[in-house]
Structure 1
């Protein structure tokens, strides 16, 4: 059973918390929250059990509102959809900036992959070096996230340095071996990210990471194919 203190804790668990039912029409608010880059959480309140009905009764008593959705901003109840949209700045440059920087970050991958095919073979070293740097970077994101979580598990810190170690090992090996190791590292790390709780990374960032991972892995494998005796220039 959820008491009032636990309900208030839920209401303050993210910048924006949306209590809704399984059939609530959010009017696109969820998509706009994703695009805004804000940390938000949706909490579904089904009415199929006595516990859920009691939780909703406590929520109504706390807010004085008898319908869903009920929306909290920074732990403070603001109302329903209309009131939330009036108070929330749901557009901002951060997701767009992250997207553009991410896509621009694929250009060195593309240049390196094409360079291995049409330029000197030593450009494979440039491609591998850039891949190792970016693999280290995506791991470091989670070190920073763990630092800002009050009770972050030690495993989050351990895992966040693994991509850097994989990149370092890949650079020590011949390019014919190092490039596929880097590609495997990107794939494995994206799978690890996907398994993290939903509140660790915003959905827009998860989607962006998937696209960028596909781009990075494709470039690394294209460069690797150029080094193979049967498919490349070797």
Structure 2
């Protein structure tokens, strides 16, 4: 009788333990699923919109797509990050289509990749643009907008990501980071998510041009961006 009771108690304890483990694993699974961050990467231009001309055969649209694909590959190893490209081939991308992609996917972050040009042949390095807190007035001064807490939070996230990317790109464009710039670029218009525009090198500068044409450097840029994104969501 006593042996039978002990056997039943052991069965009950075993069943309880299995239920507990199952519940714990389910809780972990739900927690993990709730913490997957969606990042939209926008390889600027595409199709008939070639962007900046870099060589006779290569344009900005080709470089931005190459870097975006490498970035997606780097982040595909992360279980808590999902990457969506606005385009993964040489196709046209209208502002309306881009906005719709963002609205449909409700990402945690939107990053647009570009190649810079202008400011003379000596301008070089990278620039990072994030949405602004203020707007220009007639007098040329900054006037703080009436911003909601939600928008301020989005801008703060954009600034934090910019700082991480700046730190990681410095090793590729040594001492040539042109800083963080507050500006609402066309790609950011109407997007209610944290956004950032990355201008990778100057096509008008011979040294930068060699770098951005190099597959090795393109991979390094993608790795620097991936490292920044992973650090942000760690």
- Class of the TM-score when normalised by the shorter of the 2 chains: under 0.3
Q: Which has the higher contact order (CA 8 A, sep 6+)?
A: 2
Between Structure 1 and Structure 2, the one with more helix by share is 1
| TM-score for both structures, normalised by structure 2 | 0.22
Between Structure 1 and Structure 2, the one with more strand by share is 2
| TM-score for both structures, normalised by structure 1 | 0.22
